[in-house]
Structure formats: structure tokens, C-alpha cells
Amino acid sequence: MAKRGAAVKQRHARQPCRHGPKANPNHGIPSRLRLRYDPAQGLREGHIDAVAWDIYKAAHAALGSHRPEEALRLLAGQQAPDSPIWSKFACLEAECLTALGRYADAVSMLEQAAARGTSDYWVYYQLAVQYRLIGALDKAVEATRQAHARLGWQESADHGYTFTHDYFAANIPNWQTWFATLITAAPIACLEIGSWQGGSATWLLDKVVGPRGGRLTCVDTFEGSSEHAAVLAGLGCSLEQIFDQNIARTRHAALCHKLIGRSQDVLRWLHEERFDFIYVDGAHEAKYVIQDAVLSWKLLRDGGFLLFDDTGFEFPGRPEQNTHAAIAAFRTWFADEMEVLTPDTERQLLVRKCRG
């Protein structure tokens, strides 16, 4: 799903003040959002970053509360264009412009950030979103490749993968760490529930299964999830065709096994197999997630890893189906067989099976 929540999680490296001692970060900011600012002291070196970060948070909150104009006012002119945090501001400003229907302005804002050679993948990710909105799918595909390259996945561009809608990029930093330090089986048997256009599958083939050997089993209906109806209508070809093309472009297609159908049925066919890593990213309704979890648990080796995506996915109007309900129940019922490896604040939940 829209992995948009992955916005900015970290504070940024401190930057020297570029605005001089008289700059007032509260200028133009509504009083209830004003930041602590001591005009007598002025802005110390290093202070601007904290100020910029607070402004970013305030603008982000305003946008989240459907007040994009206010967010734009907060962001306006707050950062020198050569500051590293500028790319974050540019992305947020672009989101505000999009919320106001000013798509061309949003594209222009992000293209400027890209032209400066930013190493921030989020600029390219957002650019892909914007290109899609204006119907420039080829450009969206290229921007997604550029986002991947900045996340250390150069193969995406080198192999020419096509992702019209990427639901994977934001996971890459965590996956790099987990597969380097925790999920180290070699060869490795991986199972993926929900493959979409092959984002997580091609990364696994390029970075894990290909180098280590083993296999990747991908299960998908290739009909999209309930939230994908609008997206599928505009694709112009089937999900499965895009998936097949991307997998064929990896150097390891022979290690990938595609199974078409509902995971709640297909996983039963696999009862004689065992996996080191299972990724649950199919239907997000709680009634399906709980089935995927329980069926996967049986297929996981002792010491194997189960990863849930989008733990906070919500279904407005059907709150009983919110993904969290299934994951919370599963965690409670199987607590004596698992070690939880990620904090609840993460969008993905990684657990290790450890039966006594």
C-alpha cells in the first residue's frame, strides 16, 4: 500500500545557520504553531536544523489535517536551496501542491530537487507519484528506478525493471539490515504472499536469493487487493505480465516459482515445504491476514522469520478488518513461540519462530 508513511523518520545532520542572526523562524507562522525563539540570542550555529525540523513537523501536521495552504505558508522560504534538508521541504511542498491540484507545480518543485543531484530517494519516489498523476507513466517508471538506485539497488535501473506503482522502496533500508544481520540462511528458501509487480521479489532475487542460492516462491492472485481497483484500471496490461517481465529481467528467474491463486488456498498446497523467510503482503483485511499468518507459521522453519507488511493498514468503514486486529491476535496467541524483533512503531513487524 501506499508507503507514503515512510516520509522522514530521522533528524537531519546539523547545518550552520544560513539566515543570519536576525532571521526569525516564526515569521508568517500562526501563533499556535510558533516555535521557541529568542530574538536576543538569535539563531546559533546548528540551531537552524532544529528550527527547520520543527517547521517541517508543523507543516506536515497541517497537511495531515487537510490544511495544505497553511503548510505551504509554513514552508515558504524557510530553507536555502543548497541545504540538505531542502529536499525534504521540497517533497512536502510538492505534496501540498498536489493536495491543491497544482500537479505541474509539484512536478517542477521535485524536478528542481532532482536536478540538484540529491541523494534523497524520497525526491524520486515522490516524483514518480507526481508523474503518475499527470499520466506520464514512462517518466514514473524511470523516477522509480532512480529512487531505487539511491537506496543501493542499482539493478532496478540496470536490469530495466518496470514498476508503475512501487510499494517496496521504503522497506529497503530495513531489509538491507535484516538480511545482513539476522536472516542469514544460505542457501535460503523464501515465500512471498503478495507480489504485485515484483518489487520485493526482484529485490530478493538480486540481493539475497541470487547471491546465496535457494528459491523464492511468489503467491499472488494478480488481481490486486481491494484497494487497488483504480490503479489496475489505468495499467494497460495485466499485473502478471509486468511481474513476469520483471522477474525475467533479473539474472535469477530460474530461482523464482510463481503460484497463482489466493494465498489462503495456495499455502495449503505447500504443506511439505519449509521456508527460512516468509513475507506476508497480500490482502490486508484482518480475516485474510490471520489465515496467512497461521498457514505461514506452519511452513516456517524453527528459527525462521515472518515479516508482516503494513501493520497499521486501515479500512475506513470496516474497522473490524484493520490489519492490526489480526496481527495483535496472532502475536498474543503465538507469543510463546515467537520472538518479536521490531518495535511497534515500525510499519512492518518481523518475528522469529522459536519453538522450545
10 Å CB burial of residue 232 (0-12, 13-18, 19+) is: middle
Q: Which is nearer to ligand SAM, 79 or 221 (CB)?
A: 221
Q: How far is the CB of 3 from ligand SAM (least distance, A)?
A: 9
Dihedral through CA 290, CA 345, CA 217, CA 198, nearest 10? 120
10 Å CB burial of residue 138 (0-12, 13-18, 19+) is: exposed
Q: How far is the CB of 271 from ligand SAM (least distance, A)?
A: 17
Q: For cell 530521522, what's the residue? A: 10
Q: Which is nearer to ligand SAM, 214 or 224 (CB)?
A: 224
CB atoms near residue 81 (< 10 Å): 12
Q: Which is nearer to ligand SAM, 130 or 221 (CB)?
A: 221
| φ and ψ at residue 222, rounded to 5 degrees | 60, 25
Residue 305, SS3 per DSSP: strand
Q: How far is the CB of 43 from ligand SAM (least distance, A)?
A: 42
C-alpha cell at 205: 532475487
Point out which residues bind ligand SAM (CB under 6 A).
1, 167-168, 193-196, 199-200, 219-225, 239, 262-264, 281-283, 288
Q: How far is the CB of 212 from ligand SAM (least distance, A)?
A: 20
Measured from each CB, the residue nearest to ligand SAM is 199
Question: Following DSSP, what letter does each residue of 24-60 receive, concatenated?
Answer: -TTTT--GGGPPP--TTT-PPTTHHHHHHHHHHHHHH
Q: Which is nearer to ligand SAM, 98 or 264 (CB)?
A: 264
Q: Which is nearer to ligand SAM, 79 or 321 (CB)?
A: 321
Q: How far is the CB of 22 from ligand SAM (least distance, A)?
A: 48
